[in-house]
């Protein structure tokens, strides 16, 4: 029995897969997670309006892989100084996607 997304309406506009996944996050920790055979996780910066079901569908469609699990985080923007004024970077959403053991994504 396949799991279906909930019937409740989602917030925000309807998003296409290329609008959900904005960019992969290539960091030292992310590279370690993707190369470790037991973890097989990849990190992405995703749209603020996207939920876990949309992220799973987008990664499966864009990269042609099978997704087991999706974890999301809301990252708070940092305070930065621009010349003589205080500013703030915008908030962003991070998704950590765990793939099926036989699947892999090649970024390079």
Residue 3 falls within a domain, yes or no? no
Within-domain flag for 1: no
pTM, two decimal places: 0.84
Residue 107 in any domain: the answer is no
105 in a domain, yes or no? Answer: no
Residue 95 located in a structural domain: yes
DSSP secondary structure, 23-58, as one string: EE---HHHHHHHHSTTT-EEEEEE-TT--HHHHHHH
Domain count, the chain: 1
- Measured CA to CA in angstroms, residue 59 lies from 35, 84, 89, 106 at distances of 18, 42, 26, 13
Query: Would you say residue 10 lies in a domain?
Result: no
- CATH no. for residue 30? 3.30.70.330
User: Could you tell me the residue range of the domain that residue 40 belongs to?
Assistant: 17-78+88-99
For residue 8, is it within any domain?
no
- Tens-digit pLDDT profile for residues 12-55: 888 999 999 999 999 999 889 888 888 999 999 999 999 999 99
């Amino acid at each position: 029995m396949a799991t279906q997304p909930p019937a409740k309406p989602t917030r925000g506009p309807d998003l296409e897969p290329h609008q959900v996944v904005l960019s992969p996050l290539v960091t030292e920790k992310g590279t370690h997670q993707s190369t470790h055979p037991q973890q097989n996780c990849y990190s992405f910066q995703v749209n603020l309006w996207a939920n876990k079901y949309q992220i799973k569908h987008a990664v499966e469609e864009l990269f042609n892989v099978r997704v087991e699990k999706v974890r999301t985080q809301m990252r708070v923007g940092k305070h930065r100084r621009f010349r003589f004024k205080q500013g703030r970077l915008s908030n962003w959403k991070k998704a950590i996607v765990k793939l099926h053991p036989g699947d892999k994504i090649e970024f390079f």
